[in-house]
Amino acid sequence: MAVLVTGGAGYIGSHTVAELLAAGEQVIIVDTLGQGHREALLGGKLYVGDIRDADFMDGVFKENEIDAVIHFAANSLVGESMQNPAKYYHNNVYGTLCLLEKMNEYGVKNIVFSSTAATYGEPDSVPIQETNRTEPTNAYGETKLAMEKMMRWFDTAHGMKYVSLRYFNAAGAHESGKIGEDHSPETHLIPLILQVPLGQRQHISVFGDDYATPDGTCIRDYIHVTDLADAHILAMNKLRSGGDSGVYNLGSGNGFSVKEVIDVARAVTGHPIPAVIEPRRAGDPAILIASSEKARRELGWKPAREHLPAIIESAWKWHQAHPNGYRS
């Protein structure tokens, strides 16, 4: 049987494909290559197309014996989602509806879903548990929450089992050095910091130092992308062996402020990395830290790369070897 990975040529998708291949799985990838990169695929069979294209997806399901889907295909920029919510409803919500309908048509009963901490919005308590209130503060998080709810009703109606994985801040790159993070435009803190020692940026901007945190900058929970990838495989195998649907946070449980992340990057790269304080970025919660106890308990997830210096070192290795991402 084969696993279908939608959005498999993206950052987290491609690292998951790499882990699936290492586990001996037969992997089918669907990606528009709008944001993903062909070079990010270390193997598997790629179909270039859109999950909303019914004829295209008929071909994918007819040509392969798919028993599980891992669904990454989506837009994921918070800022863009606030400017253009329609794009997010169309690609994310309608795209997922099309995918679930096709899965139902072809009798595929297992789906692992790429969700986000943005489903919580400003948390009512930290560390955040899966039972915390979900009140997204941006359209991106709202669409991901809508996609999760859609899966719940497909489970109720059709017995389609889902595991939704709510990631905190994905970071780092694959041990092989062959794949890593390459977004265009790049908005994430760690790759932007590393552009300074690469000579591509004069300084890193710190978006606000007046938050209610010990040093005034936002605190986030950074988790290695390969640890995230491993959780998808555990979740898929749980569903394959008859496990029930569920929602799980994925984070390290450790919070680092923006200033602390910059300090770690200075130590890893040996570069002074100048930082300039700028105004807050709209919609940023002060503190996001995960409780991943449920994933550890029920999925048997054991993140193996939890230390921030090691996470940043793996990213630094990738960016040094690929200063222009997959173009170099």
Q: Which of 11, 120, 140, 167 is catalytic?
A: 140
Smaller CB distance to ligand UFG: residue 46 or 262? 262
Instruction: Determine the interface stretch with ligand UFG among 66-74, 106-114, 156-164, 198-206 (rule: CB under 6 A).
Output: 198-206
CB of 291 to ligand UFG, least distance (A): 15
3-state secondary structure the chain: CEEEEECCCCHHHHHHHHHHHHCCCEEEEEECCCCCCHHHCCCCEEEECCCCCHHHHHHHHHHCCEEEEEECCCCCCHHHHHHCHHHHHHHHHHHHHHHHHHHHHCCCCEEEEEEEHHHCECCCCCCECCCCCCECCCHHHHHHHHHHHHHHHHHHHHCCEEEEEEECEEECCCCCCCCCCCCCCCCCHHHHHHCCCCCCCCCEEEECCCCCCCCCCCEECEEEHHHHHHHHHHHHHHHHCCCCCEEEEECCCCCEEHHHHHHHHHHHHCCCCCEEEECCCCCCCCECCECCHHHHHHHCCCCCCCCHHHHHHHHHHHHHHCCCHHHC
Candidate list 46, 145, 206, 290; residue touching ligand UFG; CB under 6 A = 206
Active site residue 140: yes
Query: Contacts with ligand UFG in 215-274 (CB under 6 A)?
Result: 218, 220, 258
- Which of 64, 75, 76, 134 lies at the binding interface for ligand UFG (CB under 6 A)? 76
**Which residue from 205, 213, 237, 254 is in contact with ligand UFG, where contact means CB under 6 A?**
205
By beta-carbon proximity to ligand UFG, the closer residue of 140 and 248 is 140
User: Segment near ligand UFG (CB under 6 A), from 30-38, 113-121, 289-297, 314-322?
Assistant: 113-121
Q: How many residues sit close enough to ligand UFG to count as binding (CB under 6 A)?
A: 21
Which residues, 126 to 145, sit near ligand UFG by CB under 6 A? 140
Q: Is 189 in the site for ligand UFG (CB under 6 A)?
A: yes
Told to check if 74 binds ligand UFG by CB under 6 A, we report: no
Point out the residues that are catalytic.
140
**Site for ligand UFG, rule CB under 6 A:** 76, 78, 116-118, 140, 169, 187-189, 192, 204-207, 218, 220, 258, 281, 284, 288
